[in-house]
Chains A and B, each alone.
Chain A
Amino acid sequence: MNTPLLEVENLHVKYGNIEALHGISFTVGEGEIVTLIGANGAGKSTTLMAVAQLPPPEAPKITGGDIRFRGQSILGMAPDRIVADLHLALVPEGRHIFGNLTVEENLKLATYARKDGVNELNRDYKRVYQLFPRLNERRKQRSESLSGGEQQMLAVGRALMSGCRFIMLDEPSMGLAPLLMYDMFRTLKELNEEGMTILLIEQNANLALKFAHRGYVIDTGEIVAHGPCASLMENPEVKKAYLGG
């Protein structure tokens, strides 16, 4: 493999005075699906926020290590440039949709920094509405009136409208009924087959390991295991701690 698309190397981050990540390293190659699994509070969301370069106080402060995109360090880059220039999007935990805007406006707002012409934008709107027909039905509705599953679709749709080629998802299955959850993962798989790189955080380790190519296990701010998903699923430690025996 050439230089991976994303390399996180020995990353240390702090919230206030508390260190949340004690030097974690992982890579994501172009076109891959990589998952980070681990218990609540292990530092998974923190990792994604650090990669997205979100500023404190909401996000952690990076105190050591490096994050590289195509070999170039992105430390200190403005979070909006990460999206606009690197086409790297984060679908955050809790969705963070703009509830006071309509579905359509949410999607439109995500195209803020795009320089593409009307044709490309229209093609992408069409694609999002085709992937998530529910959003099409509700495009004029205020998005806070959507159900949890629909809000998750909107959050993913918004990331797609930002023109991303690499999407980081923080617990996309949270609060979704099983049927919707499988739908969501099927859609993500479809996107991956079209070339989208995916970095996924999941509480549901079973689901994540079935879906992804490779996985990393985070425990209290450190990577404790990694490898292809098939081998992680056979790993007795991982089995015991995260897959329910």
Chain B
Amino acid sequence: MDFIIQNILNALQWGSFYALIALGYTLVYGVLRLINFAHGDIFMVGAYIAFFLATTMLGPSFGLSPFMTFVIAVPLTMALTACVGVTLERIAYRPLRRKGAHRLYVVITALMCGLILEYGNLAVLGASRLKFPDLIEKSIWSVGDVTMTNLKVIVIVAAVVVFIFLNFIVTKTKIGMAMRGISYDKFAIPLMGIPIDSIIVFTFILGSGFAGLAGLLFAMSYPILEPFMGMIIGWKAFIAAVVGGIGDIRGAFYGGFLLGFIEVGVVTVFPSTYRDLFAFSILLLILWIKPTGLFGMPQSTKI
């Protein structure tokens, strides 16, 4: 029993990381019909931003306590990572959109932007890995054989809070309605007096901000940073978003947790080298059965 609870907690933690990143894929896809393949690398940039913020604030010029550093680093990392996402939209995606470029070119541009972020990081910071400082004192609670760290709780709570917040934005606010409206009919948005670009920018702010939060929490949980850390986790989160039904925020959330559970489930039975093979095979099976993803609707035909 303890063993099961322990694994559920681990699955929830990994699911939270996947969900936080998957939300960014799904938001941008919903609004632009663009798979933003640079998103995993935005997560990586978020982790690095968190690193520099943390080391600066802990350092002699500020000398903040680790806890204060954490409290300030959360909003600041999210804000700065959001700026990176918005910049990417401005300099890479918007010019192509203006010229009416085919979607394929925009996706390729996104892939290239991801690579530029990875190799730009490599060029500027070198290949050496960075060690993320400890920001919160790790407390471990044990009940029987189940151990729970406060960091894990923070990660899971963060994912749930973000989900509730996003759900509120998308269902209750006008800007959220506009995001849903664009995904159905982009043509009519300006006719409602809504500037499309501001909705797109807002979408990138949300998606990249949450990727930044994920980057910070990930770096705190697994404190080794390297330029390619966003690649695999980004791919996995993207697949989670698709399995959940890309374009739907519930889909991203459940898809992320589903992947977390499948991965941890596989590892409890098989050697850990089988993890990704089995996990992705199961996801492939799900897409066989429901190609639109768990929450995906068949693309509605427009009149």
* A residues neighboring B (CB under 8 Å): 52, 54, 56-58, 78-81, 83-84, 89-90, 92, 94-101, 105, 108-114, 144, 158-159, 162
What residues of B have a CB within 8 angstroms of the CB of A52 in the complex? Answer: 190-191
Contact B100 A83 (CB under 8 A): no
What residues of A have a CB within 8 angstroms of the CB of B184 in the complex? Answer: 98-101
Q: Give the interface centre of B183, B188, B194 by most chain A CB atoms within 10 Å.
A: B188
Q: CA of A56 to CA of B180 in the docked complex: distance in angstroms? A: 22
What residues of A have a CB within 8 angstroms of the CB of B192 in the complex? Answer: 80, 83, 109-110, 112-113, 158, 162
Contact B185 A97 (CB under 8 A): yes
Q: CA of A111 to CA of B188 in the docked complex: distance in angstroms? A: 13
| B191-203 contact mask (Cβ, 8 Å, vs A): 1 or 0 | 1111110000000
Q: CA of A57 to CA of B100 in the docked complex: distance in angstroms? A: 7
* B residues neighboring A (CB under 8 Å): 100, 174, 177-178, 180-181, 183-185, 187-196, 300, 303
B183 and chain A: residue at smallest CB distance: A100
Closest Cβ of chain B to A60, distance in Å, is 13
Closest Cβ of chain A to B247, distance in Å, is 10
Q: A97-B185, A98-B185, A101-B184 given as contacts; is B177 within 8 A of A92 (CB)?
A: no
Q: CA of A96 to CA of B185 in the docked complex: distance in angstroms? A: 7
Closest Cβ of chain A to B189, distance in Å, is 8
Q: A56-B100, A109-B174, A109-B178 given as contacts; is B193 within 8 A of A96 (CB)?
A: no
Q: A57-B100, A109-B178 given as contacts; is B191 within 8 A of A98 (CB)?
A: no
Q: A58-B187, A92-B188, A112-B174 given as contacts; is B180 within 8 A of A101 (CB)?
A: yes
Q: CA of A159 to CA of B191 in the docked complex: distance in angstroms? A: 8
What residues of B have a CB within 8 angstroms of the CB of A58 in the complex? Answer: 187
Contact B193 A113 (CB under 8 A): yes
B171 and chain A: residue at smallest CB distance: A105
What residues of A have a CB within 8 angstroms of the CB of B194 in the complex? Answer: 80, 109, 112-113
Q: CA of A108 to CA of B180 in the docked complex: distance in angstroms? A: 13
What residues of A have a CB within 8 angstroms of the CB of B100 in the complex? Answer: 56-57
Q: CA of A101 to CA of B189 in the docked complex: distance in angstroms? A: 13
Q: Which of B174, B188, B190, B303 contacts A78 (CB 8 A)?
A: B190
Contact B180 A100 (CB under 8 A): yes
Q: CA of A96 to CA of B189 in the docked complex: distance in angstroms? A: 9
B195 and chain A: residue at smallest CB distance: A80
Q: CA of A94 to CA of B184 in the docked complex: distance in angstroms? A: 14
Contact B188 A98 (CB under 8 A): yes
Closest Cβ of chain B to A124, distance in Å, is 14
Q: CA of A95 to CA of B188 in the docked complex: distance in angstroms? A: 9
What residues of B have a CB within 8 angstroms of the CB of A78 in the complex? Answer: 190, 195
Contact A114 B300 (CB under 8 A): no
Q: CA of A245 to CA of B79 in the docked complex: distance in angstroms? A: 68
Q: CA of A97 to CA of B300 in the docked complex: distance in angstroms? A: 13
What residues of B have a CB within 8 angstroms of the CB of A83 in the complex? Answer: 190-193
What residues of A have a CB within 8 angstroms of the CB of B183 in the complex? Answer: 100
Q: CA of A114 to CA of B193 in the docked complex: distance in angstroms? A: 8
Q: CA of A56 to CA of B98 in the docked complex: distance in angstroms? A: 9
A106 and chain B: residue at smallest CB distance: B181
Contact B193 A110 (CB under 8 A): yes
Q: A96-B185, A98-B180, A100-B183 given as contacts; is B190 within 8 A of A79 (CB)?
A: yes
Closest Cβ of chain A to B124, distance in Å, is 38
What residues of A have a CB within 8 angstroms of the CB of B196 in the complex? Answer: 80
Q: A80-B194, A92-B188, A92-B191 given as contacts; is B174 within 8 A of A100 (CB)?
A: no
Contact B188 A96 (CB under 8 A): yes
* CB<8 Å pairs between A and B, sample of 5: A78-B195, A79-B191, A95-B303, A99-B184, A113-B194
What residues of A have a CB within 8 angstroms of the CB of B180 in the complex? Answer: 98, 100-101
Q: CA of A162 to CA of B192 in the docked complex: distance in angstroms? A: 6
Q: A83-B193, A94-B303 given as contacts; is B187 within 8 A of A112 (CB)?
A: no
- The 8 A-B pairs of least Cβ separation, nearest first, read A113-B193, A79-B190, A83-B193, A96-B188, A84-B193, A98-B181, A57-B100, A100-B184
Closest Cβ of chain A to B171, distance in Å, is 9
What residues of B have a CB within 8 angstroms of the CB of A109 in the complex? Answer: 174, 177-178, 181, 192, 194
Closest Cβ of chain A to B83, distance in Å, is 24
Q: A97-B185, A101-B184 given as contacts; is B191 within 8 A of A89 (CB)?
A: yes
Contacts A54-B190, A100-B183 supplied; 11 other A-B pairs, CB < 8 Å: A52-B190, A54-B187, A78-B190, A78-B195, A80-B195, A84-B193, A92-B187, A92-B191, A95-B303, A100-B181, A113-B194
